[in-house]
Structure 1
């Protein structure tokens, strides 16, 4: 059979078009299969926090999404004292063990949250059998037993522990928690020493919010310097990133990154989310004892984020990640506090029933404009 020149050219063009389409599809698939962890692999870990609901009943494709996008994993609530050690003689290991299995299957950087905190800690921890506050020695012994048991169970498997959480009260010095009141300020030092003994391979972190606050910054810097002089094992500072579209001043946050790094410890961005709703308090923070009555004006986007606000969110996320990239030599990890908007604590805090949009995936776990803005910094 003779094929004329016109037919040959047409078939050649069709073949070239098919090859080009195949190549485009392959590129599109490769881009889709590439997560933030791959884009930022030379900079720092990219993490997410996972809660019990997503751990036990993940939506279709959720675990695959987490594996694609992240290489660090924090348990949102179920390693906190009230969940994992609810009574003196009871330990609830099932959820924490499941969390460990999920992260280890994907060879993730595993973060334990948290060993010592004033909140979400049962009253029995601080009191004797008669309901009276424990004396210093007895409370220290209780702290040590808890740390030995929890950190010891996951020794060599948890790569970083939030050892002490939120022990500083803005620019007022130590928070007057039961730990402080019954032991004294050296409870933090003891917690770190106990953690090093129980988990000698893990990075030990002090974790707090509002770390852009100049007074809190200086207090923590001074604490780190004292610890280093005294041989207290502290490896890093966790800067919670509960921020908003217009707060805090990013320049002040940067000053804190530089100040903490200058002490010789690693900086971890531990709980990043960007609040898109009106501020419901006069101060900005993550103090979970705060709660406000619902008001319509505080829930302006129940049916979806307006395009102009979505654009603001994308710009804000890009601004934060540009800052993190600028200080990549000091920052070990950036962890989002959740994966998709539907699971975020910001939907109910500090006002219950609101609809918030603070993360990089929407309520259907699709990449949103903020995600693409963060990804674009590395493409």
Structure 2
């Protein structure tokens, strides 16, 4: 097995990042910050973190530290990042985030162990050309899950274990995992993750599952059946990628409640609310109600342990690159000014559970 050795430049940047974090963490968190309000509400308020921005930009780093008590790696824990060549592991960027979080008293969500996207090229090419057969693929998956969860053992409080495995109609996604391994790969992945770190809470995670619908019901039935079999499925992650051009999803609280009745934790894991550009005050006000609606559903259930936004400034949002003509999806604008959505989230946290 080959192992990746971090070059001196990476080690230096990590050292600088931690040093800066320790300096910042010595300053008290402002009482009105989101993280201070979340602490009182007994919930984690999190953000997906762009590691390039965290290293390079002071405002980004300062805001990450001051506003959030939980962080998620936006990309650097995904398979293509941590094992770019077979058997060669690169944990450097993910380790930098974990070090930053530790210096700031923040928890870390792991994202994600198994997905159909952002897989390493060596894996997808091998499956496509037949050089990796089903038996070998299962072994590769087992090794990946074990290696990653073991590397971060004791430092991740929630893992998105299996990500986006259903279509909107409730049928299983026709991914290479389903094609080659059959549906049993879902249970296997949870068992392997639990064996590697029994204390981490293990989540299913997807989009378009905010309310009660065919897709969220498929997850409910899957979780119910797996838990009956003793599979350690312990949480349900609702991504929360919304758009104000569509109505707010109905029955969000009812959906959270039914997973709670299974004995599972719940979390809102990737919340953002996009709009057609340009921005105006009416759109911003509507956006704020969507953020608040999801937060209220979380705070309304003791099962909901974390509420994570997928990026916190429009300067570094993924939305404009994917949805043409749309954007402004986060709590802060490109200059880090607070939007009505930020105020709505702060007010919701202040009111608490």
Q: Which residue of 2 aligns with 1:375?
A: 346
Q: Distance in 2 between matches of 1:140 and 1:255?
A: 36
TM-score, normalised via structure 1 length: 0.80
Q: Does 1:76 align with 2:47?
A: no
Q: Which runs of 4+ in 1 moved over 6 A?
A: none
Deviation at 1:96, TM superposition (A): 0.8
Q: Distance in 2 between matches of 1:64 and 1:34?
A: 15
Deviation at 1:104, TM superposition (A): 1.0
Aligned to 1:91, the other structure's residue is in SS state coil
Q: Does 1:63 align with 2:36?
A: no
Q: Aligned runs of 1:35-184 on 2, under 5 Å?
A: 35-41=33-39, 42-58=41-57, 60-126=58-124, 128=126, 131-132=129-130, 134-184=132-182
Aligned length: 321
Structure 1: runs of 5 or more not aligned: 1-29, 278-299
Aligned to 2:322, the other structure's residue is in SS state coil
Q: Does 1:235 align with 2:206?
A: no
- For residues 129 and 337 of structure 1, do their structure 2 counterparts lie closer, same or farther at Cα, with a shift above 3 Å needed? closer
Aligned to 2:259, the other structure's residue is in SS state helix
Aligned to 2:251, the other structure's residue is in SS state helix
Q: Distance in 1 between matches of 2:159 and 2:128?
A: 33
Deviation at 1:193, TM superposition (A): 0.6
Deviation at 1:306, TM superposition (A): 1.5
- For residues 130 and 369 of structure 1, do their structure 2 counterparts lie closer, same or farther at Cα, with a shift above 3 Å needed? closer
Residues 145-185 of structure 1: CA deviation (Å, up to 9, x unaligned): 11111111111111111111001112242111000100000
Deviation at 1:226, TM superposition (A): 1.3
Deviation at 1:46, TM superposition (A): 0.3
Aligned pair partner of 2:308 in 309, 324, 335 = 335
Contact 1:133 1:182 in 2 (8 A): no
Q: Distance in 1 between matches of 2:292 and 2:126?
A: 50
Deviates more, 1:39-48 or 1:108-117: 39-48
Residues 182-205 of structure 1: CA deviation (Å, up to 9, x unaligned): 000010000001101111111111
- For residues 182 and 342 of structure 1, do their structure 2 counterparts lie closer, same or farther at Cα, with a shift above 3 Å needed? same
Contact 1:118 1:179 in 2 (8 A): yes
Residues 67-106 of structure 1: CA deviation (Å, up to 9, x unaligned): 2211110000111111111111322221111111111111
Deviation at 1:309, TM superposition (A): 1.8
